Structure formats: structure tokens, C-alpha cells
Structure 1
Amino acid sequence: MKIEVKEISELGREINFEIEEEIVNREKERIIKELKKNVEIEGFRKGKVPERIIELRFSSLIKENLLKRIIPDAYLKAIKENNLHPAVDPEIREVKFDDGKLFLKIYTEIKPEFDIKKYKNLVLKKVKPEEITEEKVENTLKEWERRPEFAASIVDPEKRRLWRKKIREQLEYIAKREATLKEEEQLWKQLLQQVEFPVPEKLVYERARRYTEEHLRRMDLKGKTDSEIEKLANEYFEKFKPIARQDLKKYFILDKIAEKENIIPDEKEVEERIMHLSRITGKPLDEIKKNLERTGKIEDLKEEIRIKKAFDFVKENAQVIERVVLPGEVRGEGK
């Protein structure tokens, strides 16, 4: 088997294969022999159909099975021998039989190569959540009162008190979340400024498309024509591309940290995440498990946990500053 790897772009690789006739024929014979055991053709007993007839009658099926068997093995051999680390699924761009040989072209994009040295003891200045005043709670309640579906339930004093409590809890949760995001942004700024690397364009495209589809699903598109929706989709896709690129950079940084620190999810963490999915979807635990295994999403779940653990590691090892001590100020004052 001859393998040639061409560099198409910084991360794009085209792998060209020339697979010898001997390998092709050997695999073809195996497939024909397997078919011979079960095929039934009028005029022949089961298992006694001549192989030449099977080859002629089932040529498309034989070719399909031949490619399914040869291509994965050839691809794995190529990435192993050339020390490639694909970041995307392979894309088969050309398949051709010539003089008994099989010629293939497969495109893939590899993970970016970089190193990040400082991810421990990053400076994290604590952000105090916004104080939720009674005025803000009251203003939110007044906004809710303008909605007909809420107006009747808010008139009753007891129900009004409960609604105020609920609003405060929601506002406090949002304030804490916003404070946490600001803290995390400090860490990301320090991580991102250390490295500059490309990300796989295929992943950028796929992620930007996913963000676009999710955004359109949340929009009210009633009354809009197909062309108007398509125009909106294209506009949002272009807006989401830089966001997707930045998110992928963050992913690869955390992937590198997880690799350096040997961070992997344990079975308990995977089980807890599956239980969480069961609770929020209302589906039985066994059904969630079987569905994840059937669709191959269990590995995606493990990867999500691994990446989250890597960022948790960064946060846990940050140098936290509660507040800046001014010159001449004694620590502990001003609290």
C-alpha cells in the first residue's frame, strides 16, 4: 500500500492511497465467500452458487463492502504511520479502481500544534455580584404586571409576595452568573494571549452552522419567505463564524491542559452526568444510557466532562485576589 500525505493548508491534509491489486482481490474473495454461504439464486442450491455468478449478480454490494473494509484500515494506517492527529471526520473525495488497484483520496484536518506554559496561578480578581435592590425587584414585578397572563395572579397579596421572592431569586442567580462569567473572562484573556494558532476550518463551519440553526429556532419566523429566512441564515452564519473560531480556540487550549495534566473523566462523573440528563429530560436512566451508546454520543459526553474538568483545574489553581490593597492601607480594612 502506497500512502502520500499532501499539505493543503496549515491544518488540511489530503491523503492519497494506492492499494495493490493483491490486497483488493484478497478482500474481494473473502466477501464473495461470505455471500456464497447465504445467497439463494434459482437453479442453484444454497451455498453452491458459483463465485463468478455471485460476483456478477452482486457487484454493487461487493464493491460497497470492499470499500467499507479497506478504507477504514487504510486510513488508520496512514494517520498512525504519519503521526497525524485528526480533529475532524475524514472526507472521502475520490475512489477509483484501475488495473485491479484501488486509488483513494481522503481529506482531513489535524489538531493544531502549540504549547501553553502558564495555566496555573493565573490572576483572578473576584467580581462582586450586582446587589439586587427592592427597587429592582419592584420594577421587574411591574413589568410582569403588564403581561395579561400574570396580572391576575399578582393582584393577590400572598401571591404577590411569592412572586417577589421568586423574582429576587432569579435576579440574584443572574447576577452571580454574570459575576462568574466576568471572572472566567479574566482567565481566558490570560490564556488566549499566550498562544496563537489556527483552528480546523471544517470545525468552524460546523459550529457556526449549529449556532445559526439554534438561533433561528428561537426566532419568530412566521410570515417570512424561504428567501428571507435563507438571507437571515447567511447573515447570522457570518456573525457566528468568529464566535465559533474563538470557542474552538478555547476548546483546544483546554484539550492541551487536560493532556498535560492527564485529566480524564471517571465512571462516577459519567454516571452523574447521565443521571442529570435523565432528570432534565424526564426519560428513564436506562433509556438515556442506551440512546447514548447507540448513537455513539457517550464519547462526546466524556469529552465534555474532560474539557470542563480542565477549566475547573485552571480556576482551582488560580491566584484569587479578593480586592486590591491600596498603598498605605492595612489589609483587612475597608471590608
Structure 2
Amino acid sequence: AELRAMVAHDLEHEKEHAIEQAKESQIVKALQEQTQFDLPTQLLRNETRRALGELVQRNRQRGVPDEMLKSKEKELVEGAGSLAAHRLKTNFILHRIAEAEKIQVAPEEVEERIRNQAAQYNVSLEKMRKEIDEHGGINGVVEEILLGKTIDFLKANVSVKTEAAEQRKP
């Protein structure tokens, strides 16, 4: 009976998570469709490079051989380009909303995020800080929190149709 309750709780949690993800996707999609602007070329180039690196790394972790990655280079570059454009545009839009709504990140929130990440990866706080400094610094953490808070603000303040998530019920 206890196992059954745990499984039911997990399924309910997964369903809620799927609904939240669907809301976020709908919000981002609507913002993307309603907002048109050109992205700065250099930023797009840099983000494409970063996205390509992530795609290559993810595929290597999945065991895809380098020869296959080379043969799919054109598709990977195109995929990275569209991912980068989507990411940049979304971030620009969310930053403008955060600015307009005066959404800010408090130092305590940054500290809490770093503590949580240290606990999640089972490393010391000092080691986590060093890791963060090596990978984009504290600004990356602030950016993550700001964008997350802006998405949360939007989820709380816009009406979203959850039909897609409801249809996926098991």
C-alpha cells in the first residue's frame, strides 16, 4: 500500500511537472511569435558556437562516434543555429519583461542557488563556487535565476490553455 501511494504521488508530480513545462512552452512560443527583431550577428555567432559545442558533447556522451558527427556536421550546425536564435530571442524578450516588471535577483537567491547546486552535485560550497567561476561566473547564475523568475511571473500572470498537457494523461 505504501509503494502504491509513493507511485501515485510520483505520477501526480510528473503530471504537474508536464503541465508546468507545457505552460512554459506555450508562453515562450507566444512571445516568440508576437515579437520580431533582428539578433545581433556577433551574439548569434557566439551562441551558435556554444550550442554546437553542447550538441557535440551531448552526442559524444550518448556514444555517437566522431566520424558520424563529422558526417552530420551540416545538420548539427543548422540545428545549433536555430537553437541559438531561439535561445537568444527568448532571453532578450524575458530580459525586457524583467526590466519592465522590475524583477530582480537578490544576493540571497544567488547564495541559495549555489548551495542547492553544491548539494545536488555533492560537492563543497567552495568547489561549487570555483566550478561556477570556471564556467561563466556568477553572472550566469544570476541570469538563470532572473529568467526563471520572469517565466514564473508570466505563468502566474497569463492565462494558458492546458489542453495539450491534459490530452497526454495516461
Name the TM tier (shorter chain). Answer: 0.7 to 0.9
In the other structure, the counterpart of 1:316 is 156
Written as runs of structure 1 = structure 2, the 5 A alignment for 1:281-320 is 281-293=121-133, 297-319=137-159
SS, match of residue 181 in structure 1: helix
Which of the two has greater helix per residue? 2
The whole-number CA distance in structure 1 between the counterparts of 2:8 and 2:108 is 35
In the other structure, the counterpart of 2:166 is none
Written as runs of structure 1 = structure 2, the 5 A alignment for 1:216-295 is 216-221=59-64, 224=65, 226-293=66-133
Task: Report the aligned-residue RMSD.
Answer: 3.0
1:175 offset after TM fit, Å?
2.4
Rg bigger for which structure? 1
SS, match of residue 198 in structure 1: coil
Identity %: 29
Instruction: Report how many aligned residue pairs link the two structures.
Output: 160
Written as runs of structure 1 = structure 2, the 5 A alignment for 1:101-120 is none
1:296 offset after TM fit, Å?
5.4
Relative contact order higher in (CA < 8 Å, ≥ 6 apart): 2
Written as runs of structure 1 = structure 2, the 5 A alignment for 1:1-335 is 162=3, 168-200=8-40, 201-221=44-64, 224=65, 226-293=66-133, 297-319=137-159
Task: Return the TM-score normalized by structure 2.
Answer: 0.75
1:209 and 1:237 in contact (8 A); partners too:
yes
Change (3 A) 1:237 1:171: farther
Change (3 A) 1:320 1:185: closer
Note the residue ranges of structure 1 that are not aligned, 5 or more in a row.
1-157, 324-335
Note the residue ranges of structure 2 that are not aligned, 5 or more in a row.
164-170
The whole-number CA distance in structure 1 between the counterparts of 2:22 and 2:162 is 14
The whole-number CA distance in structure 2 between the counterparts of 1:187 and 1:209 is 25
1:216 and 1:233 in contact (8 A); partners too:
no
Task: Return the TM-score normalized by structure 1.
Answer: 0.41
SS, match of residue 193 in structure 1: helix
